[in-house]
């Protein structure tokens, strides 16, 4: 097999076959691409690495005695231009920051947010329901995670289109997307500073948000700087927006191509949460995460040394037949018990692992109710050309029988829960 490279179009077109070959023949395979790393493809190996954060680190600027002066690390290959908050830290720091955020993402917190989530979903469907036409990417899968994230985190809701577009385009490396992400970061920085000033003046009437929590927090007795709060907010947005966008589009793509499965779900909506979990397994929107080896270790029969980089192929682990019988089959009632690794596992397991499925469940139920006969125009469906981080879609137009609006209280133009910063979005 040619050298493995998850940044190529060839990989995007043949990732399932590529992983099946590697799992069967060379489950920890070295490649020289991007400075050299090993791709880990079997479920048990991937899980073992995720559960051994001491030997397999997430930090970005690690230095080893066998390569003095060289720095390596991070959870992507190659390293991301922007540090991803605690996702790219190791214990004890990673856990200290995680503890600040965890209460906002518990099952109870997400359950309490569900009525608001349902309003956002109905508002989005209202925007297209009368026309009988929809693009599942532009009209649903891209807006929903952005609206929910900004609303839930306490960021300016009316900016959702700019945030959604920048993070979505960055995922498939569209030209100009790096600049757009830079603008989002600048906007976040301004929002953080503005909000800090408001809270300091005692001028804020809005209920405490995720952003406020970070602004008021201390770690090891030291308050978080604006720069670190900005980084943490960026982590939340980057972690949650395009991964969810990708899964939602994949889910509707599948149900569009399989009307009989869609009818099954519409007839028995109690199957929806399990179906969403199975889609997460099968499509694995976040394709892989990286680690750096900190001590000599053997993995899948291969010896690894400190400083070696490994890419954990989550998409491969989730399709490993040793763990998921007939993995190429989507079984809407497959009882995974969330055994899949779409959200990672261990101490860095996705913080949005309750929020994201809630978004997908509420949305799928609404679409099955209000536009059950949607028909996707397959000739106009466009996938991401490359899938180094996220596996998703650029376009997925469809038609359906028009219906009435339901009009909820939600309006994305109104900053209902969010702070309103003083500066305008740089553009």
Query: Footprint of ligand HEM on this chain (CB under 6 A)?
Result: 58, 75, 86-87, 94, 98, 105, 235-236, 239-240, 243-244, 247, 285-286, 289, 314, 342-344, 348, 350-352, 355-356
We find the least distance from the C-beta atom of residue 355 to ligand HEM, in angstroms, to be 5
The phi, psi pair for 70, rounded to 5°, reads: -95, 135
User: Closer to ligand HEM at the Cβ: 29 or 57?
Assistant: 57
Strands 309-313 vs 37-40: parallel, antiparallel or unpaired: parallel
* Nearest Cα residue to 31 out of 42, 43, 18: 18
Location of structure tokens 């209000």:
370
Complete DSSP assignment for 75-110: SSSS--SS--GGGG--TTHHHHHHHHHGGGGSHHHH
We find the least distance from the C-beta atom of residue 346 to ligand HEM, in angstroms, to be 7
First to last CA, the chain: 44
Q: What is the CA radius of gyration of the chain?
A: 21
User: Closer to ligand HEM at the Cβ: 313 or 381?
Assistant: 313
We find the least distance from the C-beta atom of residue 89 to ligand HEM, in angstroms, to be 8
User: Closer to ligand HEM at the Cβ: 287 or 386?
Assistant: 287
Q: How many CB atoms lie within 10 A of CB 61?
A: 11
User: Closer to ligand HEM at the Cβ: 191 or 243?
Assistant: 243
* Separation in Å, CA 154 to CA 212, 323, 324, 355: 8, 40, 39, 15
We find the least distance from the C-beta atom of residue 422 to ligand HEM, in angstroms, to be 26
299 - beta bridge partners? 302
User: Closer to ligand HEM at the Cβ: 389 or 398?
Assistant: 389
Strands (E), 236-326: 288-293, 297-299, 302-304, 309-313
**H/E run at residue 46:** helix 43-50
Cα 295 to Cα 303: distance, rounded to the nearest angstrom:
11
The first and second tokens of residue 154, run together, are 């306490």
We find the least distance from the C-beta atom of residue 281 to ligand HEM, in angstroms, to be 11
312 - beta bridge partners? 40, 289
We find the least distance from the C-beta atom of residue 119 to ligand HEM, in angstroms, to be 18
User: Closer to ligand HEM at the Cβ: 246 or 368?
Assistant: 246
Q: How many CB atoms lie within 10 A of CB 387?
A: 24
Cα 320 to Cα 390: distance, rounded to the nearest angstrom:
19
We find the least distance from the C-beta atom of residue 311 to ligand HEM, in angstroms, to be 11
We find the least distance from the C-beta atom of residue 58 to ligand HEM, in angstroms, to be 6
We find the least distance from the C-beta atom of residue 94 to ligand HEM, in angstroms, to be 6
User: Closer to ligand HEM at the Cβ: 38 or 244?
Assistant: 244
User: Closer to ligand HEM at the Cβ: 210 or 368?
Assistant: 210
User: Closer to ligand HEM at the Cβ: 278 or 400?
Assistant: 278
Return the residue nearest ligand HEM (CB atom): 352
Q: For Cα atoms 166, 168, 172, give the angle at the middle one, nearest 5 degrees.
A: 110
Cα 26 to Cα 9: distance, rounded to the nearest angstrom:
22
376 - beta bridge partners? 398
């Amino acid at each position: 097999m040619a050298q493995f490279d998850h940044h190529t179009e060839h990989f995007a077109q043949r990732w399932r076959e590529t992983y099946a070959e590697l799992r069967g023949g060379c489950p920890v395979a070295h490649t020289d691409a991007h400075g050299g790393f090993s791709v880990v493809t079997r479920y048990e190996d991937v899980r073992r690495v995720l559960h051994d954060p001491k030997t397999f680190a997430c930090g970005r600027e690690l230095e080893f005695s066998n390569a003095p002066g060289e720095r390596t690390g991070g959870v992507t290959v190659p390293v991301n231009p922007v540090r991803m908050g605690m996702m790219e830290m190791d214990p004890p720091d990673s856990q200290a920051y995680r503890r600040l955020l965890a209460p906002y993402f518990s099952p109870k917190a997400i359950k309490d947010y569900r009525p608001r989530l349902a309003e956002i979903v109905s508002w989005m469907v209202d925007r297209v329901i009368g026309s009988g036409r929809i693009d599942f990417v532009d009209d649903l899968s891209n807006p929903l995670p952005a609206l929910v994230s900004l609303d839930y985190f306490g960021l300016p809701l009316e900016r959702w289109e700019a945030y959604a577009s920048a993070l979505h385009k960055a995922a498939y490396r569209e030209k100009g997307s790096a600049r757009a992400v830079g603008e989002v970061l600048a906007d976040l920085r301004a929002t953080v500073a503005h909000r800090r000033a408001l809270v300091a003046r005692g001028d804020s009437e809005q209920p405490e948000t995720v952003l406020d929590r970070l602004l008021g927090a201390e770690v090891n007795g030291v308050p978080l700087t604006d720069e670190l709060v900005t980084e943490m907010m960026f982590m939340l947005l980057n972690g949650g927006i395009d991964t969810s966008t990708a899964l939602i589009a994949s889910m509707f793509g599948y149900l569009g191509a399989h009307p009989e499965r869609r009818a099954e779900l519409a007839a028995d909506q109690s199957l929806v949460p399990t179906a969403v979990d199975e889609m997460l397994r099968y499509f694995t929107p976040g394709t892989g995460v990286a680690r750096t080896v900190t001590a000599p270790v053997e993995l899948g029969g291969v010896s690894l040394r400190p400083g070696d980089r490994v890419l954990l192929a989550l998409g491969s682990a989730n399709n490993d037949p040793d763990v998921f019988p007939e993995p190429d089959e989507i079984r809407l009632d497959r009882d995974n018990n969330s055994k899949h690794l779409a959200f990672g596992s261990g101490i860095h397991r996705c913080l949005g692992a309750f929020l994201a499925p809630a978004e997908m469940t509420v949305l799928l139920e609404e679409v099955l109710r209000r536009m059950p006969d949607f028909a996707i125009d397959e000739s106009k469906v466009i996938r991401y050309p490359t899938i180094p981080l996220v596996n998703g879609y650029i376009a997925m137009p469809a038609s359906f029988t028009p219906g009435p609006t339901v009009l909820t209280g939600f309006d994305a133009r109104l900053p209902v829960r969010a702070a309103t910063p003083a500066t305008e979005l740089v553009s």
